[in-house]
Chain A
Amino acid sequence: MRHLLSIADLDKVSAINILDTAVELARVSDGAVKKLPTLRGRTIVNLFAEDSTRTRISFEAAAKRLSADVINFSAKGSSLSKGESLKDTAMTLQAMGADAVVIRHSASGAAARLANCEWMSGSVVNAGDGTHEHPSQALLDAFTIRKNLGMGSSDLVGLNVAIVGDVLHSRVARSNVLLLSMLGAKVTLVAPPTLLPVGVQSWPVEISYDFDMVIPHVDVIMMLRVQQERMTDLFFPNAREYSRYFGLNSERMAKMKSGAIVMHPGPMNRGLEISAEVADSSRSVITEQVTNGVSVRMAILYVLLAGGALDKGIN
Chain B
Amino acid sequence: MTMVDFIIKNAELADGSKSDIAISKGVISAMASSITSEATTTIDAKDCIVLPGLVDLHTHVREPGREDAETVLSGSRAGVKGGFTALSAMANTSPVADTAGVVEQVYRLGQEAGLLDVFPIGAVTQGLKGEALSEIGAMADSVARVRMFSDDGYCVSDPLVMRRALEYVKKFNGVIAQHAQDPRMTVDAQMNEGLISARLGLKGWPAVAEEAIIARDVLIADHVKSRLHICHLTTAGGVEIIRWAKARGIDVTAEVTPHHLLLTDDLAGSYDPIYKVNPPLRTESDVMALREALADGTIDIVATDHAPHPMESKECEWQEAAFGMLGLETALSIVQMTMIDSLLMSWAQVAQRMSITPARIAGYENHGQEIKEGAPANLVVIDPHRKWTVDRDLVQSKSSNTPYHGFELPGVIAHTIFKGKASMLNGVIASKETL
Give A132 to B194 CA distance when docked, in angstroms: 14
Residues in A whose Cβ lies below 8 Å from that of B204: 197-198
B320/A202 in contact, CB under 8 A: no
Q: Which of B197, B200, B312, B317 contacts A105 (CB 8 A)?
A: B317
Give A174 to B202 CA distance when docked, in angstroms: 12
Interface centre among A106, A110, A117, A171 (most CB of B within 10 A): A110
Smallest CB–CB gap between B303 and chain A, Å?
29
Smallest CB–CB gap between A276 and chain B, Å?
30
Query: Counting CB contacts under 8 A, is B319 at the interface?
Result: yes
Contact with A along B320-340 (1 / 0, CB 8 A): 100000000000000000000
Residues of A in contact, count (CB < 8 Å) = 26
B202/A108 in contact, CB under 8 A: yes
Q: Which of B198, B315, B319, B320 contacts A197 (CB 8 A)?
A: B198
B200/A109 in contact, CB under 8 A: yes
A199/B197 contact (C-beta < 8 A), A85-B315, A105-B317, A107-B320 known = yes
Query: Counting CB contacts under 8 A, is B318 at the interface?
Result: yes
Query: Counting CB contacts under 8 A, is A200 at the interface?
Result: yes
Interface centre among B194, B200, B319 (most CB of A within 10 A): B200
Give A171 to B201 CA distance when docked, in angstroms: 7
Give A198 to B195 CA distance when docked, in angstroms: 7
A109/B318 in contact, CB under 8 A: yes
Contact with A along B340-354 (1 / 0, CB 8 A): 000000000000000
B206/A108 in contact, CB under 8 A: no
Give A113 to B271 CA distance when docked, in angstroms: 7
B195/A130 in contact, CB under 8 A: no
B201/A130 in contact, CB under 8 A: yes
Query: Counting CB contacts under 8 A, is A116 at the interface?
Result: yes
Residues in B whose Cβ lies below 8 Å from that of A87: 312, 315-316
B201/A129 in contact, CB under 8 A: yes
A198/B193 in contact, CB under 8 A: yes
Give A129 to B349 CA distance when docked, in angstroms: 47
Give A163 to B195 CA distance when docked, in angstroms: 19
A108/B200 contact (C-beta < 8 A), A86-B316, A87-B316 known = yes
User: Size class of B's contact patch?
Assistant: 20 to 34
CB within 8 Å: A-B pair count: 74
Contact with A along B184-208 (1 / 0, CB 8 A): 0000000001111111111010100
Query: Counting CB contacts under 8 A, is A133 at the interface?
Result: yes
Smallest CB–CB gap between A209 and chain B, Å?
18
Give A308 to B200 CA distance when docked, in angstroms: 31
Residues in A whose Cβ lies below 8 Å from that of B206: 198
Smallest CB–CB gap between A57 and chain B, Å?
24
Query: Counting CB contacts under 8 A, is B270 at the interface?
Result: yes
Q: Which of A106, A107, A129, A174 contacts B199 (CB 8 A)?
A: A174
B194/A109 in contact, CB under 8 A: no
Give A105 to B272 CA distance when docked, in angstroms: 16
Closest to A169 in B: B201
Interface centre among B199, B312, B315 (most CB of A within 10 A): B199
Residues in A whose Cβ lies below 8 Å from that of B193: 198-199
A109/B312 in contact, CB under 8 A: no
A109/B198 in contact, CB under 8 A: no
Give A108 to B193 CA distance when docked, in angstroms: 15
Residues in B whose Cβ lies below 8 Å from that of A109: 200-202, 271, 317-318
Contact with B along A114-132 (1 / 0, CB 8 A): 0011000000000001111
B271/A199 in contact, CB under 8 A: no
Smallest CB–CB gap between A106 and chain B, Å?
8
Smallest CB–CB gap between B283 and chain A, Å?
11
Closest to A109 in B: B271
Query: Counting CB contacts under 8 A, is A303 at the interface?
Result: no
Query: Counting CB contacts under 8 A, is A112 at the interface?
Result: yes
B271/A112 in contact, CB under 8 A: yes
Closest to A200 in B: B198
A108/B312 in contact, CB under 8 A: no
Smallest CB–CB gap between B156 and chain A, Å?
24
Q: Which of B194, B202, B315 contacts A198 (CB 8 A)?
A: B194
B319/A108 in contact, CB under 8 A: yes
B318/A108 in contact, CB under 8 A: yes
Residues in A whose Cβ lies below 8 Å from that of B317: 86, 105, 107, 109-110, 113
Residues in A whose Cβ lies below 8 Å from that of B198: 197-200, 202-203
Residues in A whose Cβ lies below 8 Å from that of B196: 199
Give A129 to B317 CA distance when docked, in angstroms: 11
**Contacts of B354-391 to chain A: CB distance below 8 A:** none
Contact with B along A193-224 (1 / 0, CB 8 A): 00001111011000000000000000000000
Pairs A–B under 8 Å by Cβ, sample size 8: A108-B201, A109-B271, A109-B318, A113-B272, A113-B316, A174-B199, A197-B198, A198-B206
> Residues on B close to A: CB < 8 A?
193-202, 204, 206, 270-272, 312, 315-320
> Residues on A close to B: CB < 8 A?
85-87, 105-110, 112-113, 116-117, 129-133, 171, 174, 197-200, 202-203
